[in-house]
C-alpha cells in the first residue's frame, strides 16, 4: 500500500514504459506493498493492445471469414461467396475493439492499485538515483526499463523516399490497396501478407532467406505452398538493391537468382523486424550495455549491466512476445524490490504464427538440437494422416517432433494446422515434464481433434500410423 508520508517524488521502484511489461512489473511490486512510479509516454497500453496483437488478429480473423466462405466448395454441394464490402467500417470496428481493451485492461486497472502512481509528463531519462521526467527527478533505488520496440526500417538505398507502411499504418489505411510488396518473411510478414491477399489485395512477399527462417524447413516449404496456392507471389533468397518512387507508387529493385527485377506496388510494407525503443534513455551514460540491434542486454535475473537497473520486454535482447515480456517484467520486479532470486526460463516457451494454417512450436528445432549435441531423431506427420483434418476436408499442414534418440525424451516440436495453435500447449506440458515420445504416443487423446495429431506424430517414430485403424494404438 502507498505510504502517504513518503515524499511525493520518492518511490521504491520506477518503471519506464506503460505497456504489457510495464504494467506487469508495476502490479507485481504493488501487490508486494511497494510504491511505484509507472512512467508512460503517449498512448497507454504499449504495442500489443494498440498496434500489435489485438488489431492484427481481429483483422486476420475477418480475412479468414472471407476465405472460409470462398473455400466452402471443398465440401461437395456447397458454394459460398464473401468479399470486403466496406474496408473503412472494418478498420473502425478494429479501432473500437482496441479502444475498449485499452481502457478495460490498462487505464481502468490503475485505480485498483494504491501503490502505483501513473506519470505521463514526457519522455523519461535515466539519471543517478532514479529517473528524470518533465524537468523533475523521480527518486527510486531500483528502475525497470520496459519501453518496448517499433518496426525497424531496413537499410535499403532510397527506402525513405517511397510510400512505405509498417504493421501499424497498414491497418490504418483509409482504403483497401490494390497491391502491396511485403519486405520480410517472418511471422509478422506472413500473417499480414495472407490477411491482405484474402481481402483481395495483390501481394508479393520478398525475403532474404525463406519464410519463417527460424522454423523447421518443412514448415517453411509447406507454408510457402499454401500461400502460393492462395495467389500470393513469394520471392525468397533475394537481395534488396534499391527503392524509388514512381508517381504515387513504390518500386523495389531486387536481385533474384542473379537477375535484377523491378517490383511495383501501391506500397512497400516493412516487416523486416523490430527495433528497441532506447533513444534518449541515457543508457550509455549509465553504463548499460546493448547488443548490435541496440537492445538492452540483461542477465537471467533481468538485470542490466548497471546495478539497480533492470529491463524487460521488447527493449531487451530476450524473446519478443507479449507474454514473455510480462513474464520477464514480473521476474524483474520480484528480483528488484521483493527480494527474489528468480531466473528467466524459456525452455518450454510456445510461439504461434497466426497464418491459416496456424504454425505453433515449442522447444528445439532439429538443427538446434543437433547443435546442442543431441543424437536426434525426428518424426514428420502430414495432416492427411489426422482424422480431424480428413473430416474437415483440409489437410494443409504437418506435425514435426524432435527427440533425443538415446533417452527418447522430447526436445521440441511444431504443428502447422488450421486452429493448430491451441494444440501446442499440450506439447509444452510434454516438454516441461520431460515426456518421452513413447509416453506421448501412449497418452489417451480425444478422437477427431487436431491435438490427437501429436499422439499420431509420436507413434510415427516407431510405426506406420497409416496402417492403424481409427483410435487404434
Task: Please give the CATH number for the structural domain made up of 159-272.
Answer: 3.50.50.60
Q: Across residues 91-117, what is the average pLDDT?
A: 94
Residues at the binding site for NAD(+) are: 184-191, 273
What single DSSP character describes residue 469? P
What single DSSP character describes residue 316? B
Calpha distance 192→203 (Å, rounded): 10
- pLDDT tens for each residue of 38-97: 999 988 998 989 989 999 999 999 999 999 999 999 999 999 999 999 999 999 999 999
- Of the CA atoms within 13 Å of residue 93, those in its CB half-sphere come to 10
Calpha distance 218→221 (Å, rounded): 5
Across all residues in the chain, what is the average pLDDT?
Answer: 95
Handedness of CA 219, 221, 224, 228 (dihedral sign): negative
C-alpha cell at 46: 504499449
Calpha distance 226→193 (Å, rounded): 12
Closest by CA to 193, choosing from 174, 211, 217, is 211
Q: Are the C-beta atoms of 342 and 331 separated by less than 8 Å?
A: yes
Residue whose C-alpha cell is 492484427: 56
DSSP-assigned beta bridge partners for residue 242: 253
Calpha distance 411→428 (Å, rounded): 10
- Res 465: pLDDT: 86
- pLDDT tens for each residue of 177-227: 999 999 999 999 999 999 999 999 999 999 999 999 999 999 999 999 999
Q: What is the DSSP track for 128-163?
A: TTEEEETTEEEE-SEEEE---EEEPPP--TTGGGS-
Instruction: Locate all alpha helices (DSSP H) within 32-120, ordered by sequence.
Output: 46-51, 53-70, 87-105
Strand arrangement, sheet containing 202-207 = 164-165, 267-270, 179-183, 202-207, 233-236
Q: Could you give phi then psi for residue 430, rounded to 5 degrees?
A: -60, -45
CATH 3.30.390.30 describes domain 351-463: yes
Q: Is 121 a residue whose pLDDT tops 80?
A: yes
- Res 468: pLDDT: 75
Domain boundaries, the chain: 13-45+106-151+275-337, 159-272, 351-463
Residues at the binding site are: 57, 184-191, 273, 314
Tell me which of 9-23, 38-52, 266-280, 300-314 is least confident.
Answer: 38-52
Return the ∠ at Cα 373 (arms to 369 and 378), rounded to 5°: 40
Residues at the binding site for FAD are: 57, 314
Residue 2: band (very low, low, confident or very high) from pLDDT cuts 50, 70, 90? very low
Calpha distance 179→264 (Å, rounded): 8
Return the ∠ at Cα 369 (arms to 363 and 374), rounded to 5°: 130
- pLDDT tens for each residue of 355-373: 999 999 999 999 999 999 9
Q: Is 405 a residue whose pLDDT tops 90?
A: yes
Residue whose C-alpha cell is 513474464: 327
CATH 3.40.980.10 describes domain 13-45+106-151+275-337: no
- Res 163: pLDDT: 86
Closest by CA to 275, choosing from 120, 152, 417, is 152
- Of the CA atoms within 13 Å of residue 96, those in its CB half-sphere come to 6
Q: Could you give phi then psi for residue 362, rounded to 5 degrees?
A: -160, 150
- Res 7: pLDDT: 58
Calpha distance 181→168 (Å, rounded): 15
Would you call 32 helix, strand, or coil by DSSP? Answer: coil
Q: Are the C-beta atoms of 272 and 240 separated by less than 8 Å?
A: no
- pLDDT tens for each residue of 375-390: 999 999 999 999 999 9
Calpha distance 134→131 (Å, rounded): 10
Q: Across residues 156-171, what is the average pLDDT?
A: 94
Q: Is 146 a residue whose pLDDT tops 90?
A: yes
- How far from the centroid of its chain's Cα atoms is residue 164's Cα? 22
Paired sense of beta strands 274-276 and 267-270, if any: unpaired
Calpha distance 202→438 (Å, rounded): 46
- Res 366: pLDDT: 98
Task: Evaluate whether 13-45+106-151+275-337 and 351-463 have a shared fold.
Answer: no
Q: Is 289 a residue whose pLDDT tops 80?
A: yes
Calpha distance 6→112 (Å, rounded): 20
Q: Is 321 a residue whose pLDDT tops 70?
A: yes
Question: What does pTM read for this prediction?
Answer: 0.94
Q: Is 5 a residue whose pLDDT tops 90?
A: no
- Res 471: pLDDT: 62
Calpha distance 105→258 (Å, rounded): 51
Q: What percent of the chain has pLDDT over 90?
A: 93
Amino acid at each position: 500500500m502507498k505510504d502517504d508520508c513518503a515524499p511525493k517524488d520518492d518511490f521504491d521502484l520506477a518503471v519506464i514504459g506503460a505497456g504489457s511489461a510495464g504494467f506487469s512489473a508495476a502490479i507485481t511490486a504493488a501487490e508486494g506493498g511497494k510504491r511505484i512510479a509507472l512512467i508512460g509516454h503517449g498512448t497507454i497500453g504499449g504495442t500489443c493492445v494498440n498496434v500489435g496483437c489485438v488489431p492484427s488478429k481481429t483483422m486476420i480473423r475477418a480475412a479468414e471469414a472471407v476465405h472460409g466462405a470462398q473455400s466452402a466448395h471443398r465440401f461437395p454441394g456447397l458454394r459460398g461467396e464473401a468479399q470486403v464490402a466496406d474496408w473503412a467500417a472494418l478498420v473502425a470496428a478494429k479501432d473500437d475493439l482496441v479502444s475498449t481493451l485499452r481502457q478495460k485492461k490498462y487505464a481502468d486497472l490503475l485505480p485498483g492499485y494504491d501503490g502505483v502512481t501513473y506519470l505521463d509528463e514526457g519522455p523519461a531519462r535515466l539519471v543517478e538515483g532514479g529517473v528524470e521526467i518533465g524537468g523533475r527527478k523521480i527518486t527510486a533505488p531500483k528502475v525497470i526499463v520496459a519501453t518496448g520496440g517499433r518496426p525497424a526500417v531496413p537499410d535499403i538505398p532510397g527506402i525513405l523516399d517511397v510510400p512505405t507502411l509498417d504493421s501499424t499504418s497498414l491497418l490504418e489505411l483509409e482504403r483497401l490497396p490494390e497491391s502491396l510488396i511485403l519486405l520480410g518473411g517472418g511471422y509478422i510478414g506472413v500473417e499480414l501478407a495472407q490477411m491482405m491477399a484474402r481481402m483481395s489485395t495483390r501481394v508479393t512477399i520478398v525475403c532474404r532467406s525463406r519464410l519463417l527462417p527460424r522454423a523447421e524447413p518443412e514448415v517453411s516449404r509447406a507454408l510457402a505452398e499454401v500461400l502460393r496456392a492462395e495467389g500470393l507471389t513469394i520471392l525468397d533468397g533475394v537481395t534488396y538493391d534499391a527503392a524509388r518512387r514512381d508517381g504515387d507508387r513504390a518500386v523495389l529493385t531486387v536481385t533474384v537468382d542473379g537477375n535484377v527485377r523491378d517490383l511495383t506496388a501501391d506500397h512497400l510494407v516493412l516487416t523486416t523486424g523490430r527495433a528497441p525503443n532506447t533513444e534518449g534513455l541515457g543508457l550509455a551514460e549509465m553504463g548499460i550495455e546493448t547488443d548490435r540491434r541496440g537492445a538492452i542486454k540483461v542477465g537471467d535475473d533481468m538485470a542490466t549491466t548497471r546495478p539497480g537497473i533492470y529491463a524487460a520486454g521488447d527493449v531487451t535482447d530476450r524473446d519478443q512476445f507479449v507474454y514473455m515480456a510480462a513474464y520477464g517484467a514480473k521476474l524483474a520486479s520480484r528480483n528488484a524490490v521483493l527480494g527474489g532470486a528468480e531466473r528467466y526460463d524459456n525452455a518450454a516457451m510456445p510461439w504461434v504464427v497466426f497464418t491459416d494454417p496456424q504454425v505453433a512450436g515449442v522447444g528445439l528445432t532439429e538443427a538446434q538440437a543437433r547443435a546442442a549435441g543431441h543424437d536426434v531423431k525426428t518424426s514428420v506427420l502430414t495432416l492427411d494422416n489426422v482424422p480431424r483434418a480428413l473430416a474437415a476436408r483440409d489437410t494443409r499442414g504437418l506435425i514435426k517432433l524432435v527427440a533425443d534418440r538415446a533417452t527418447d525424451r522430447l526436445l521440441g516440436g511444431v504443428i502447422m494446422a488450421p486452429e493448430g495453435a491451441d494444440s501446442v500447449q499440450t506439447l509444452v506440458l510434454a516438454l516441461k515434464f520431460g515426456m518421452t515420445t513413447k509416453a506421448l504416443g501412449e497418452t489417451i487423446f480425444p478422437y477427431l481433434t487436431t491435438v490427437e495429431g501429436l499422439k499420431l506424430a509420436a507413434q510415427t517414430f516407431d510405426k506406420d500410423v497409416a496402417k492403424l485403424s481409427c483410435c487404434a494404438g
